[in-house]
Chain A
Amino acid sequence: MAALRALVGVKRVIDYAVKVRVRPDGGGVVTDGVKHSMNPFCEIALEEAVRLRERNLLQEVVVVSCGPPQCQETIRTALAMGADRGVHVEIPAPEYEHFGPLQVAKILAALAKREGVSLVLLGKQAIDDDCNQTGQMTAALLDWPQGTFASALALAGDQLTVEREIDGGLENIRLRLPALVTADLRLNEPRYATLPNIMKAKKKKIEVLKASDLGVDLSSRLGVQRVEEPPQRQAGLKVETVEDLVGKLKEGGLV
């Protein structure tokens, strides 16, 4: 049986616990000096890949992250969690401003082909932009089947069974490799990077590439016009009786 290898995308995002602030220039949010971590859904995708490798259903897990030099920290965390090697696609600061799902998808598709992987695992969305697009676009560019919002995964030979969380409940689909999966919350609970693995990760390789090395054009047709905070929440009003409530609603033209 040919060696099955997986590519896992991990995104460096502002940590979920940080209170995000809009930059004074209104062009984005403050990222300088702010704590960043691996996107939680990427962690879940990575955990799934590592589990498959531990069960010998995969031979190698390659992680990739696109962005500034600090992305290598995220890759190292992934290596400490059990990935075998990493790829950092370095995106210089000016281009990172309009770097979005389509650009990432083009990079991932090119990398998947270059690395000859049969499975691409991604988080369903990133907690900074909540796009929920990268996985779908990557699968389309590769013309591979996709199982998104996965809450359970089973691999047997080249058959992948994916349980998906959809609006109406759960859907089970079967895909033939090569395929792409995006991870949802309940797929698994990611492991802690243990000390022995953190130390082992020091010896694992991280390859640094430019988008042009993969023949990818990063130009975007989108631009950010303005970023602003949501309006301040106004104080409410207390009423004593149901009649008062109905009266106020009528006054406000709401009923």
Chain B
Amino acid sequence: MCCPLLPAGPAMARCWAGLWARAAWAKGRFVLGGPARAGDLRRASGAARAGAHWLYTREHYAVRESLRKIIDKDINPFVDKWEEEGQFPAHKIFKILGQAGFLGVNKPTEYGGMGLDFSYSIAVAEELGNIRCGGVPMAIGVQTDMATPALTRFGSDELKREFLVPTIAGDVVACLGVSEPGAGSDVASVHIAKKIDKMGMRSSDTAQIFFEDVRVPSKYLIGEEGMGFTYQMLQFQEERLWAVANILAPMENVIQETIDYTRQRKIYNQPILHNQTVHFRLAELATEVELLHSLLYQTVALYLKGNDVTKFASMAKLKAGRLARELTDSCLQFWGGMGFTNEVLVSRLYRDSRLLSIGAGADEVMLSIICKYMGTLP
């Protein structure tokens, strides 16, 4: 069962950087590195705790702590700016992550990967949830677990040396293109249409790319022609579990920030948090987040043992997308007018997390899969 861990420590309010903080850190980490007190208990490692978590070992926690430092220093301080600009410096960030070894966690060591098992990919996915937007983790997830698995499994050695090695090193930025033959009628052979203006995930730029009369030498074909969808399908479960792991920390962070805000925001002379509808609702949401944690770890553990986890992964993905919407919606309500501004995390996550019910397998697809396993699909 999921981690008993320590009794809930004293609720810690927002933190303020110490006076001594080094200039770069002060500038960097001062900007809300993602509190997640409750999450920290689960995450903050310890000789006491290693062994208490049934999926994560001490090494997993060490990996997460190291990644957290990169997030706190090189990513979070700039997220607001990137969201406004509608893009982030992917080459720079991926190089930092690549050098630290975070882009090839479960990839083969012959190509620069770490050769670790999927539980480490999940640990990384979970920690990336502390980035204060959805766009950047999504881009990293595409690099590590969407654009590369088929290449790793079915690509030739030559292809892997040319493309997988630099992807793991962070020297190139990978993207995923889902092709639709017959779409577009532009003159140029490879044409990038104008950037799409999206509701959320604003720091990740998305556009339509048109390929017309583009010649692709056959050696660049991964595996067999026509098998593209099948290859992608083989790693759907990993992709979905990754997405679930990645949404947990944002949800916990939103709950904690909502608690902090409503504790000090007063209406009719009392904190909003004191209204039973508020603290009871937060308790409900926290319960559901915990349940999702359990399902995730259970599913990953079964997957590592070689089981077919399609049903559980689909359930987890379905729940994650829906819970993220309910949770951000409820919390945004408690933030009142402030929640409606673009100056707070809750509204950004409200927009960003909406994609989860759509991408990597829409809710309706998840439901169909579950029905298939339940034998109820007509």
A: residues with CB less than 8 A from B are 16-19, 21, 30, 32-36, 40, 69-70, 72-73, 76-77, 80, 127, 130, 185, 189, 192-196, 198-199, 201-202
B 4-38 to A, binary, CB cutoff 8 A, 1 in contact else 0: 00111110111111101111110001000100000
Taking a contact as CB atoms closer than 8 A, the residue among A18, A72, A189 that contacts B12 in the complex is A18
Cβ contacts B231-267/A at 8 Å (1 or 0 each): 0000000000000000000000000000000000000
Contact of B47 among A34, A73, A189, A198 (CB under 8 A): A73
Determine if A16 and B18 form an interchain contact, defined as CB atoms under 8 angstroms apart. Answer: yes
Segment at the interface with A among B55-63, B86-94, B188-196, B355-363: B55-63
* Dominant secondary structure of chain A at its interface with chain B: loop
Given the complex, which residues of B lie within 8 Å of A36, measured CB to CB? 44
Question: Could you tell me if A72 and B41 are in contact, using CB atoms closer than 8 angstroms?
Answer: no
- Inter-subunit contact B22/A185 (CB<8 Å): yes
A16–B38 Cα distance when bound, in Å, is 18
Given contact pairs A19-B15, A19-B16, A189-B24, A195 touches B10 in the complex (Cβ within 8 A):
no
A195 is contacted by which of B15, B63, B69 (Cβ under 8 Å)?
A: B63
Residue from B40, B65, B105, B116 having most chain A Cβ neighbours under 10 A: B65
The contact sample of 22 A-B pairs, CB cut-off 8 A, is A17-B15, A17-B17, A17-B29, A33-B7, A33-B8, A33-B41, A35-B40, A40-B25, A72-B47, A76-B62, A77-B65, A80-B62, A80-B66, A185-B20, A193-B62, A193-B65, A194-B66, A194-B100, A194-B101, A195-B66, A195-B100, A199-B59
Tell me the bound Cα distance from A70 to B6 in angstroms: 14
> Which B residues touch A32, using CB under 8 A?
6, 9
Q: Is B214 an interface residue (CB 8 A)?
A: no
Residue of A nearest to B114 (CB): A195
Give Cα A40–Cα B28 distance, bound, in whole angstroms: 15
In whole angstroms, how far apart are the Cα atoms of A155 and B96 in the complex?
Answer: 29
Across-interface contacts of A21 in B (CB, < 8 A): 10, 12
B99: chain A residues at CB < 8 Å are 194
Cβ contacts under 8 Å, A185 to chain B: 20, 22-23
Contact, CB under 8 Å: B45 / A40: no
CB-CB contacts of B66-86 with A at 8 A, as 1s and 0s? Answer: 100110000000000000000
- The answer to whether the Cβ of B178 comes within 8 Å of any Cβ in the partner chain is no
The interface centre, meaning the residue of A30, A32, A73, A192 with most chain B CB atoms within 10 A of its CB, is: A192
Which A residue sits closest to B16, measured CB to CB?
A19
Task: Check if B335 is an interface residue, CB within 8 A of chain A.
Answer: no
Interface: B102 (CB within 8 A): yes
Neighbour of B66 across the interface among A19, A33, A72, A198, CB < 8 A: A198
